[in-house]
Chains A and B, each alone.
Chain A
Amino acid sequence: MKHTVLLMGAPNVGKSVIFNYLTGLNVRVANYTGTTVDYARGLINLNGQAIDLIDVPGTYSLCATCEAEEVAVNMVCGKSAADCAHSASSSCCSPAPDTAEHDTPAEKPSLLVYVLDARNFEGGLYLLLQLLELDVPLIVALNRGDLAREKGFLVDVNALVSALNVPVVPTVAVTGEGLEELQKEITAALNKNPEQKTALDHERANRNFSASWENVETLSSQVLRRISPTGNPRSEEWDRRLTNPWPGLPLAAVILAVIFMAVVGIGMGLRQFILLPLFNILIIPPIINLVTEVIPAGVIQNIFIGEYGFLVKGLEWPFTLVLPYVLSFYTVLSLVEDSGYLPRLALLLDGLFNRIGLPGSGIIPIMIGYGCGIPAIMGSRALGSHKERMIVTILICLAVPCISQTGAFISLLAARSITVMLAVFIFGFLVMIAAGLFLNRYLKGDRQATLTEIPDLLVPRFSVAIKKLWLRMKLYITDGALPMIGAVALASVLYETGLMAAWGRAISPLVTGWLRLPESAAAPLALGVLRRELAVLPLLDMELTTLQLFTGAVVGLFYVPCIAIVAAVAREFKLSTAVSILLLTTSLAFFAGGIVARIGALIF
């Protein structure tokens, strides 16, 4: 029999780290609330027992306050959560063990593993007491005891066990401490026979602690001990600097500039000194030699190694132009995510972001969007209201270039003039602000008042960052590079068969007349539908003037946000939303491009 085990707990307590350890999978982890927005499942085998382990988004109670938490509540309560929605924005489920849904075997988990944060002990207790009222066996993983000690707290494990009558396993998930014991405890709990389970229920029925905040405080006073903090007092000083407007805001500007320069600098270095020589000297020439020997000159040969030859451009673009920046971006992002700086940035920017209809935490999906829009749009589920999600999604689709496109911009523009590249980014920024102001005014819906925890600043762990980077690399190869090679192959066929030229002539009034670009610039417009960077890359070899480069880059930035993102928006919202966003961004791209070409002509 296959067991279902739910991994539950408050936000940002390390559930996903434990999940990754137990399943060997790699789901996203970070040091802030709301990283897991959908459940992740992994099949594991513990001593011959098949277990379906599910990583549930963090929640503080069986009362959802955002879409991500709704996923969690629905997982443990089944359909009843949706039925007893109290208001439009929150759905609750009362832990009533007598409803029929709870007894449906398909819905009911065999075991709950509750991750309790020793650092924020009280915050996690309420949900634990609620879950103990359900008719499901439960194990507590008491995580982050190391951080609690740094802050001067110690959880008395024995007192906790005897108060609640549940097994408790102390763990430090990021180092793997205690996770083997947790595995053993899971196996033991699943192997208990039915009579033992009844005994467990009986014990629980006699327990003194029903789910109430009074009981949480009583329990915590019985179990939590104060010790002298072992942490570094200097980290608190830094915390103050980073969170006070002065010097926090100027420091934020410096940190963002350093992040930007690190991504561009490391990326350029990787390209110039490692990937470019590797491909241009060692990999591509032998391929060209081989193809010229095997395939006679002509259309077929050109498809392989001609203008858009997919064995040349199809390797050069994904691996020497984009990969370096994917590497540098995700290295830096991993470190920033784990440090706990992003929630502080969100705090500093909250007031400004409110004017564009977003909470400060809207900065997090936007930052992730500079890597790839799809996880960013998924991640926006952690925001409180539909309106906020919609605004973030539109801004990302409109003016946040993914890392592939940024790589293309750097190659296209940085060589000519770094000022033009910065101008494109600043222009994108201004349009984002304008769009945000507009959307905030005209989109219906409300905004939830900001109320969020600022997690401790942590020194990022190298091993965690490497794992995250590895996951990103694999994803880039399968979901980024391979589709790009496919798209280049398609382009190659269209080019060599003359279809591309026909397309160019067809939309020539738009391209040459309105945007003042050469007719061949119609090609990136066709390819850009497939992938964001392909709206820019073909411009590389066209010998354009600086103004034309800028125009092309602006059009590419606002243009179709790649077909995969359109699909993601349709999945997360509605198809009509995706189509509206598509029309909006595309028309804005052409409108802005034409204006830029005209105003630019007056200036230069």
Chain B
Amino acid sequence: MTNMPASDYLQKTIPLIDLSPGMKGTIAAVPENPLMYPLGLRPGKDILCKGCQLFGGPLLVKVDDRQIALSRLLAEKIIVSL
């Protein structure tokens, strides 16, 4: 996990997976993964949850007007503030 400033804990933060479709948040922390940053999943970015696939499939999110599919496992580890 990247470091989170202490002030962020005062805000309401939840895992990305708990963001319901249509809701927006700001990324607070992302797990270590070489593709996260290049795909725009970086702390400080606004993120929109577009929906969740069936059969345990991935989440579809929008960051910087790009659509990214990411597994629920990763979505549990991404922290967003509301």
Assess the B39–A453 pair: CB atoms within 8 A: yes
B residues less than 8 Å from A240 (CB atoms): 50
Within residues 4 to 47 of chain B, which ones have a CB less than 8 A from any CB in chain A? 33-40, 42
**Cβ-neighbour of A243 out of B35, B51, B55 (below 8 A):** B51
Whether A351 is near chain B, meaning CB under 8 Å from some CB there, is: yes
- Chain A nearest CB from B67 CB (Å) reads 4
Of A35-43, A58-66, A405-413, A489-497, the one with at least 4 CB within 8 A of chain B: A58-66
Known contacts A244-B51, A348-B53: does B38 contact A450 (CB below 8 Å)?
Answer: no
- Give the chain B neighbours of A310 by CB distance below 8 A: none
A residues 446-470 near B (Cβ < 8 Å) are 449-454
Number of interface residues of B (CB under 8 A): 28
The distance in angstroms between the C-alpha atoms of A540 and B60, with both chains bound, is 48
Q: What's the Cα separation between A423 and B75 when bound, in Å?
A: 40
Task: Check if B54 sits within 8 Å of A347, measured CB to CB.
Answer: no
Residues of chain B within 8 A (CB-CB) of A153 are 65
User: Contacting A453 at CB < 8 Å: which of B50, B55, B57, B68?
Assistant: B68
**Cross-interface CB contact of B68 among A61, A213, A452, cutoff 8 Å:** A452
Residue of A nearest to B67 (CB): A454
Closest residue of chain A to B56 (Cβ to Cβ) is A351
Residue in contact with B38 in the complex, picked from A10, A151, A245, A352, CB distance below 8 Å = A10
Scan A46-81; emit 1 where CB is below 8 A from any B CB, else 0: 000000000000001101010000000000000000
B57 touches A351 (CB 8 A): yes
Q: Contact partner of B58 among A123, A217, A249, A347, CB < 8 A?
A: A347
The answer for the CA separation of A480 and B80 in the assembled complex, in Å, is 53
A122 interfacial by beta-carbon distance below 8 Å = yes
Which of B57, B64, B65 is the one whose CB lies under 8 Å from A350? B57
Question: In the complex where A65-B35, A151-B65 touch, is A350 in contact with B40 (Cβ < 8 A)?
Answer: no
Q: Which of A331-375 contact B (CB under 8 A)?
A: 343, 346-352, 354-355, 360
Q: Which residues of chain A come closer than 8 Å to B74, judged between CB atoms?
A: 449-451
Q: Is chain A's binding surface mostly helix, strand, loop or mixed?
A: helix
Task: Decide yes or no: A347 and B35 within 8 Å by CB, A244-B51, A451-B69, A453-B67 being known contacts.
Answer: no
Distance A360 CA – B71 CA, assembled complex (angstroms): 11
Are B71 and A450 in contact, CB atoms less than 8 angstroms apart?
A: yes
Q: Give bound CA distance, A347 to B34, whole Å.
A: 20
Residues of A within 8 A of B73 (CB): 449
Q: How far is the CA of A449 from the CA of B56 in the complex (A)?
A: 12
Q: Which residues of A contact B69 (CB under 8 A)?
A: 343, 346-347, 350, 360, 450-454
Q: How far is the CB of A133 from chain B (nearest CB, A)?
A: 17
Number of interface residues of A (CB under 8 A): 39
B39 lies within 8 A of A451 (CB): yes
Cα of A343 to Cα of B60 in the assembled complex, Å: 12
Q: Which residues of B contact A165 (CB under 8 A)?
A: none
Residues B56 and A451 in contact, CB atoms below 8 Å apart: no
Q: Does A550 contact B (CB under 8 A)?
A: no
Q: How far is the CA of A63 from the CA of B32 in the complex (A)?
A: 13
Complex-state Cα separation, A227 to B54, whole angstroms: 36
Once bound together, how far apart are the Cα atoms of A509 and B29, in whole Å? 66
Contact of A249 among B51, B54, B56, B66 (CB under 8 A): B54
Q: What residues of chain B lie closer than 8 Å to A360, measured between beta carbons? A: 57-58, 69
Interface centre among B35, B39, B40, B51 (most CB of A within 10 A): B35
Q: Does A126 contact B (CB under 8 A)?
A: yes
Residues of A within 8 A of B51 (CB): 243-245
CB B49 to nearest CB in A, in angstroms, measures 12
Please report the C-alpha to C-alpha distance between residue A439 and residue B73 in the assembled complex, in whole angstroms: 22
B64 to chain A, nearest CB (A): 7
For A124, the closest partner residue in chain B by CB is: B38
Residues of B near A10 (CB, < 8 A) are 38
Taking a contact as CB atoms under 8 Å apart, the answer to whether A122 and B54 are in contact is no
- Show 24 A/B contacts (Cβ-Cβ < 8 Å), sorted by A: A61-B34, A65-B34, A65-B35, A120-B66, A123-B39, A123-B40, A126-B37, A126-B38, A213-B42, A245-B54, A343-B69, A346-B69, A350-B58, A351-B56, A351-B58, A352-B57, A449-B33, A449-B70, A450-B58, A451-B33, A451-B69, A452-B70, A453-B39, A454-B67
Q: A213-B42, A351-B58 are in contact. List 20 more A-B contacts (CB 8 A).
A: A60-B38, A61-B34, A90-B34, A120-B40, A120-B66, A122-B40, A127-B38, A153-B65, A217-B42, A245-B53, A346-B69, A354-B55, A355-B55, A449-B33, A450-B58, A450-B70, A450-B74, A451-B35, A454-B67, A454-B68
**CB-CB nearest 10 A-B residue pairs:** A351-B55, A351-B57, A60-B38, A454-B67, A449-B71, A450-B71, A350-B57, A351-B56, A245-B54, A451-B70
